[in-house]
Amino acid sequence: MSFLEESWEEREEKSYKEIFGDTGPGIFPLSNEIFDRMNAKGIDPRWLTHGVFKCPPNGNRNTWAYVTSGMSNPWETEEAEEYSGLGVEFLMETENEETWAIEVLQTLMAYNLLLAAGQMGDYPPLDYGHRVPLALSESIKAMMFAYPINFPANFSIKSGSVDLLQAVGITPSELEAAKRTSSEEIKEKLISNAGGLLTCKERASVA
């Protein structure tokens, strides 16, 4: 098994099962269509091996967890580095099983891959505190990245460290408040009001 394959397997078969438990029926991979919608100048065929796992509730949590897999693949190296690949994977929590959660994470992951490849202008890849316009409904108009509270913020595989960035849907007024103050302040209000960082299509604003 290659260094890439060993790192990939360790993430999906060891780290993810320790963090999320059952990772569901298999991976929901990215498609050419997702990149076409973003007017990608070129699609690296390796990106189409990236995808999203759907993890059902278990004894440790009563939420559904969705997590990306692939951005932390060490495509370009044969030895461990500080961060594996892009050094990140994204996650999202919902109260119920939601197909749209898979699509949201696929979109965010595709966008991040294009950012990292320099196809979206002179902008850095997505990170903690970043906010992305992505409407789920009339009330949820953007996604914000925060440190998880029910999951570790970081894990390590043989190729390096990986940060988990949790995406949470926010309202227009929360987005404006985050721009004025900080994403961290909105995160704390969400936690104090809702008890966590659940994403849902409809809810009252906390700002």
pLDDT of residue 194: 84
Mean pLDDT of 162-191: 96
pLDDT of residue 150: 93
Q: Of 118, 124, 134, which is closest to residue 170 (Cα–Cα)?
A: 134
**pLDDT (tens digit, 9 = 90+) per residue, 131-150?**
999 999 999 999 999 999 99
The DSSP result for 112-150, as a single string, is HHHHHTTBTBS-PPP-TT-EEE--SSSS--EEEEE--SS
CB count, 10 Å around CB of 97? Answer: 12
pLDDT of residue 79: 95
pLDDT of residue 195: 86
> Percent of the chain, pLDDT > 90?
98
**pLDDT (tens digit, 9 = 90+) per residue, 58-72?**
999 999 999 999 999
Mean pLDDT of 106-132: 97
pLDDT of residue 37: 96
Counting Cβ atoms within 10 Å, is residue 180 exposed (0-12), middle (13-18) or buried (19+)? exposed
pLDDT of residue 47: 98
Cα-Cα-Cα-Cα torsion 168, 181, 111, 134, nearest 10 degrees, comes to: 60
Query: ∠120-108-92 over CA atoms, to 5°?
Result: 160
pLDDT of residue 183 exceeding 90, the answer is yes
The backbone torsions φ and ψ at residue 50, rounded to the nearest 5 degrees and listed phi first, read -80, 155
Q: Of 113, 109, 103, which is closest to residue 44 (Cα–Cα)?
A: 113
